[in-house]
Amino acid sequence: MHARIYLFALVLVLNNVNHLITFSLGL
């Protein structure tokens, strides 16, 4: 269960980083 929560959190973090990089490149 803990591994699943950790994986979900990791995906959210990667999603945020990906969005920030895309936004920075957009500027």
Per-residue pLDDT tens digits for 1-27: 689 999 999 999 999 999 999 999 997
> Domain containing 13: what range?
1-26
How many distinct structural domains can be found in the chain?
Answer: 1
Q: What is the DSSP letter of 1?
A: -
What DSSP letter does each residue of 3-18 carry, written as one string?
Answer: HHHHHHHHHHHHHHHH
Predicted pLDDT at 24: 94
